[in-house]
Amino acid sequence: MPAPKDILDTLHSLVDRDICIMHICGTHEAAIARSGIRSVLPERLKIVMGPGCPVCITPQGEIDAALDLARKDCVIATYGDLLRVPGTKGSLESSGGDVRVVQGVHKAAEIARREPEKEVVFISVGFETTAPTVAATILTKPPENFSILSCHRLVPPAMEWLLAQGEAQLHGFMLPGHVCTVMGYHEYERFPVPQVVAGFEPDDILLGLVMIAQQIREGAARIDNAYPRAVCREGNEKAQNLMYDVFEPADVEWRGFPVIPQSGLRLKPEFEQYDAQKKFGIEVRHVEKHSACICDKVLRGIARPSDCKLFGKACTPRNPVGPCMVSHEGACKIWHLYEARR
């Protein structure tokens, strides 16, 4: 790989118009903010974050469903990031229920084995990166007192929605490196825009930006791979098969988005004994947004965290108002940590 300064010089020489690139990955946002990449970019090149934080895009209705499960005396097992995400009436942290932080689904299944007298529900959030692991656990036939609330999301349908809306005026996408490690990038070939798969080191990101700027200069719309050490076109087929053995696509709402067709994952009928919604008769309801939080716009790439009048004042990592200030992959928390200090 060329030296970072050379990559940056090439990038500056390529950008001769206003360009807006969206990435869809909280880890990319953290890497960009931590390394200060935005401060050295050509003035006319803007990078915005899309719906790449799985906790942030989990709608309030799903948080409310998790709270309903906690009220039914279920042990709620989930990732730490989800605990403080506000639902309509409080968060899992403030629910008073038996809520336990686990490192992954296998730990939740272990609790169910260890405590057979309790119902254990894993709140299963994440993109195509985490769904195969959850599927693998379901295929091990965990005990009857184990179930999941599936809050999984698939990235390509959200990209399709964003492109159809056109509200963010995007010129290209930096594809999520982790998701592409599992899924490859062949699913994205249907999108007629410049795209690049990029890794997470500053050089990877800069190289990705060069590749995408090059495409824009050429008037091309293809997928370049700046992360070949981890990603190939087909991805990890074994993981994909596991995921689709257990889950099937479903129409679901995302926070900040309406219902996007086939953008979620629900358990297939043969695994419905592990479906907490069916097991406990829980409904995921649409919740209208009422607060001044603009997470919805931040997640669609049409506002920056600092555009929010609550940013750094009423809303801080200590007292988060919206999910983007809770999760370590949330744009507001990342900006509060890094960008606001520059």
Footprint of ligand SF4 (CB under 6 A): 293-295, 298, 305, 308, 310-311, 315, 321-322, 324-325, 332
Nearer to ligand SF4 by Cβ, of 21 and 293: the residue is: 293
Distance CA 95, CA 247 (A): 29
Distance CA 208, CA 227 (A): 8
**Least distance from ligand SF4 to the Cβ atom of residue 81, Å:** 13
**Least distance from ligand SF4 to the Cβ atom of residue 38, Å:** 18
Nearer to ligand SF4 by Cβ, of 211 and 325: the residue is: 325
Nearer to ligand SF4 by Cβ, of 135 and 295: the residue is: 295
Residue closest to ligand SF4 (Cβ): 322
What single string gives the DSSP state of each residue in 68-84?
HHHHTTPEEEE-GGGTT
Handedness of CA 245, 250, 252, 257 (dihedral sign): positive
**Least distance from ligand SF4 to the Cβ atom of residue 119, Å:** 32
**Least distance from ligand SF4 to the Cβ atom of residue 333, Å:** 8
Nearer to ligand SF4 by Cβ, of 60 and 277: the residue is: 60
**Least distance from ligand SF4 to the Cβ atom of residue 125, Å:** 17
Nearer to ligand SF4 by Cβ, of 119 and 296: the residue is: 296
Nearer to ligand SF4 by Cβ, of 10 and 94: the residue is: 94
Distance CA 326, CA 341 (A): 18
Q: What's the Cα-to-Cα distance from 312 to each of 86, 299, 301, 309, rounded to whole Å?
A: 17, 18, 19, 8
Please name the residue that has the structure tokens 């118009």.
Answer: 17
Q: What's the Cα-to-Cα distance from 241 to each of 136, 237, 250, 272, rounded to whole Å?
A: 10, 6, 17, 19
**Least distance from ligand SF4 to the Cβ atom of residue 297, Å:** 8
**Least distance from ligand SF4 to the Cβ atom of residue 13, Å:** 35
Nearer to ligand SF4 by Cβ, of 230 and 314: the residue is: 314
Cα 275 → chain centroid: 22
Angle at 48 between CA 308 and CA 26, to 5 degrees: 90
